[in-house]
């Protein structure tokens, strides 16, 4: 799938990881620049806290995505931006996208929202940090969403998109971590089909 000689479809695996586990945050992605300084806010303590909360709910009943939304959104404006985007934009779509891509998926809040909104779609959630990707995957299991969300732990800038194209790319507060913007937008273009759309929420200068 990533760095391999044979391209594999992204959706074949529910959880795949090509990166070693690290407690140091991020290393250097293909986007140039050492990102470890900017990414240390993803502490193990925070991840444990979220998992503990989710497991407590799971002891009583099935975990709903709403149970997690105060904890699993690692961006500033909560769900309102992506929610208004999909609700407004989808009015003009002739058909709903069946394959969605979340770039820099964190622990999966946006991906799980997309899975609940587009109830037939499969979402590929790409996340760089192994610990985040693992929590993303475990929360999907508790929400019974493993069939709908494939977790790929990899540097988005290194993924080869061959036949695997997507109808919608979503990314919240992740593009700023990828310094090589021309490579980033090349990858976005490669990952989308001919009528694909992008929703990106981020800082820019």
Q: Residues interacting with ligand SAM, by CB under 6 A?
A: 26, 29, 31, 73-75, 104-106, 109-110, 126-129, 132, 155-157, 172-174, 177-178
Strands 122-127, 99-103: pairing is parallel
Residue 198 tokens read as 């992008």
**Shortest distance (Å) from residue 155 CB to ligand SAM:** 4
Q: Report the nearest approach of ligand SAM to the CB of residue 67 (Å).
A: 16
Q: Whose CA is closest to 107, among 84, 130, 123, 86?
A: 130
Nearer Cβ to ligand SAM (172/191): 172
Rank residues 59 and 134 by Cβ distance to ligand SAM and give the closer one: 134
172 versus 197: smaller Cβ distance to ligand SAM: 172
Least separation in angstroms between CB 139 and ligand SAM: 12
CA torsion sign for 128, 134, 139, 145 is positive
Shortest gap between Cβ of 104 and ligand SAM (angstroms)?
3
* Least distance in angstroms from the C-beta of 188 to ligand SAM: 12
Nearer to ligand SAM, 77 or 195 (CB): 77
Question: Is the CB of 22 or the CB of 89 nearer to ligand SAM?
Answer: 22
For the CA atoms of 124, 128, 131, 136, the dihedral, rounded to the nearest 10 degrees, stands at -20
Rounded alpha-carbon distances, angstroms, from residue 96 to 87, 166, 198: 11, 11, 14
Alpha-carbon distance of 28 to 22, in angstroms, equals: 12
From 151, 167, 161, select the one nearest 86 (Cα to Cα).
Answer: 167
């Amino acid at each position: 799938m990533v760095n391999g000689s044979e391209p594999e479809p992204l959706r074949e695996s529910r959880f795949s990881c090509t990166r070693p586990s690290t407690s140091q945050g991020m290393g250097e992605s293909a986007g140039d620049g050492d990102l470890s300084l900017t990414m240390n806010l993803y502490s193990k303590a925070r991840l444990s806290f979220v998992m503990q909360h989710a497991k407590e709910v799971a002891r009583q009943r099935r975990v709903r995505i709403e149970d997690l939304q105060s904890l699993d959104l690692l961006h500033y404006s909560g769900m309102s931006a992506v929610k208004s985007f999909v609700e407004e934009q989808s009015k003009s779509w002739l058909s709903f996208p069946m394959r969605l891509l979340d770039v820099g998926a964190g622990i999966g809040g946006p991906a799980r929202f997309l899975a609940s909104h587009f109830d037939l779609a499969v979402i590929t959630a790409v996340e760089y940090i192994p610990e985040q990707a693992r929590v993303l995957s475990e929360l999907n299991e508790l929400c019974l969403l493993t069939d709908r969300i494939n977790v790929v732990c990899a540097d988005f800038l290194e993924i080869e998109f061959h036949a695997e194209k997507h109808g919608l790319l979503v990314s919240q507060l992740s593009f700023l971590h990828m310094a090589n913007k021309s490579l980033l937008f090349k990858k976005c273009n490669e990952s989308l089909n001919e009528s694909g759309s992008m929703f990106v929420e981020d800082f820019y200068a």
